[in-house]
Amino acid sequence: MQKVRYHRLAAFVVLAISAVWVATGEFSSVGSAAIEKEAEADDDKAVSEQEAGKVQKRLHTVGVAEPDFIKHNRIIRVSGVSKADKKTTLATRSAGVIGELKVDKGDWVKSGDVILILDGSEKQAAIDTAKAMLRQRKNEAANVEKLIKRGISPKTQAESAETALAAARSQLESAQAEFDRLQVTAPFAGVIDSVSVEEGSWAPTGETVAVLLSLNPIIASGEISERERSLVQIGSEAEVELINGVTVTGTIRYISLAATAETRTFPVEVEVANPDGMIPVGMTTEIRLKSDPVDAVKLPRSVVTLDAAGNLGIRVVDTDNKVGFVPIDLIDDTQDGLLLGGIPKDAKIIVAGQDLVTDGEIVEAVAVGPDGLSTLDTGAVK
């Protein structure tokens, strides 16, 4: 009887546990959970394969152009200043009172023109005396010569007469030299830049009188770097742009063989014709030195880019449409674009989309003709 009760109790317990399990709903996830995870994995795999296929097909499209090489002079731009071809300080060669001052600031003079005359009546008198003595010695020498020919005087007197005549000539030359020192003359043609004396004042020997400038030709002076030193040579053509926008042409007349210690740069001078003196001294200039012509390609500024290391260059594609980077050599910078050197002959230059690709990337290259290239922004300041 008790055994029957025990089995009945066990049945009730099993029934109660089954009811609780059914109520929670967990019975439905035992088999389906694994199935759902497997389905999700299959879906993810399918999506990944689909996306990978899209990536392989989605290549960057870039515009490329073949380089058109031209011969162009490398232009070296140097900041400079205009200088006088010659500059000298005129000074007195003798002491005295300034009797006549013949120039003023800004006057143009020719070589040999008298700038200043010191009073010197005593020196004029010395010249007159020396001239009279010379005439006397000439007459004496002539009389001695006649007496010798007649046999009246010995030949030794002729030597004495010649010596006296030579001394008289020397005395006149000395008197004339002293008189000439009373005058200050211009050693070359130019303009009087400043005058530092007044008429009637006393001037000792060596007193500064005026500053004389030669402005034709005018000189544009600047300094070039160590690397640029070998690119230019004396006699080459150069352009000089003045601060007022006027551009004149000249030639390189001097390149220093010694670098400036502080900057390690080499002084250079360009000679420019200035017959009317319109280019003054001390004007700011931009000197454009020209080297020998080299192979260059003209490209818009927008084509130039940077590599990962920050080097300036352009991107190109090879025969397999793989992107590469080529460092450039800037030959010139014009309003129409940059003239670049160092570009391989067989390169295909990326002119559109170069900033959207990386080195080694495979791209789809589309040729851009001259018309399309001309529409790209040159980057010049308008």
pLDDT score at 16: 62
- The packing angle between helices 121-150 and 156-180, to 10°, is 160
Cα–Cα distance between 255 and 238 in angstroms, integer? 13
Cα–Cα distance between 186 and 170 in angstroms, integer? 27
| Cβ atoms of 41 and 317 closer than 8 Å | no
CA distances 146 to 133, 149, 155, 169, Å, are 20, 5, 11, 22
pLDDT score at 15: 61
pLDDT score at 266: 95
pLDDT score at 240: 95
pLDDT score at 27: 46
| Cβ atoms of 288 and 60 closer than 8 Å | no
Q: What is the mean pLDDT of each run of 10 residues along the chain (382 residues)?
A: 54 60 51 50 53 60 89 89 95 90 93 90 76 84 77 72 84 81 92 93 92 95 92 92 93 94 93 92 93 87 88 90 90 86 88 88 85 48 36
- In the beta sheet, which residues pair with residue 367? 64
Cα–Cα distance between 316 and 299 in angstroms, integer? 13
- The domain ranges of the chain are 61-71+295-374, 77-83+216-293, 94-209
Fold of 61-71+295-374: 2.40.420
Cα–Cα distance between 299 and 181 in angstroms, integer? 67
Q: What is the CATH number of domain 77-83+216-293?
A: 2.40.30.170
Cα–Cα distance between 179 and 167 in angstroms, integer? 18
Q: Residue 265 CB: number of other CB atoms within 10 A?
A: 17
pLDDT score at 112: 92
| Cβ atoms of 328 and 304 closer than 8 Å | yes
Structure tokens at 138: 């000439």
CA distances 272 to 216, 268, 269, 287, Å, are 8, 13, 10, 11
- E strands in the chain: 61-65, 69-91, 96-101, 108-109, 114-118, 183-185, 190-195, 202-203, 208-224, 237-242, 247-255, 266-272, 284-299, 305-306, 312-317, 323-327, 329-334, 337-341, 348-352, 364-367
pLDDT score at 131: 86
pLDDT score at 25: 53
> Between vectors from CA 379 to CA 375 and to CA 382, what angle results, nearest 5°?
100
pLDDT score at 108: 94
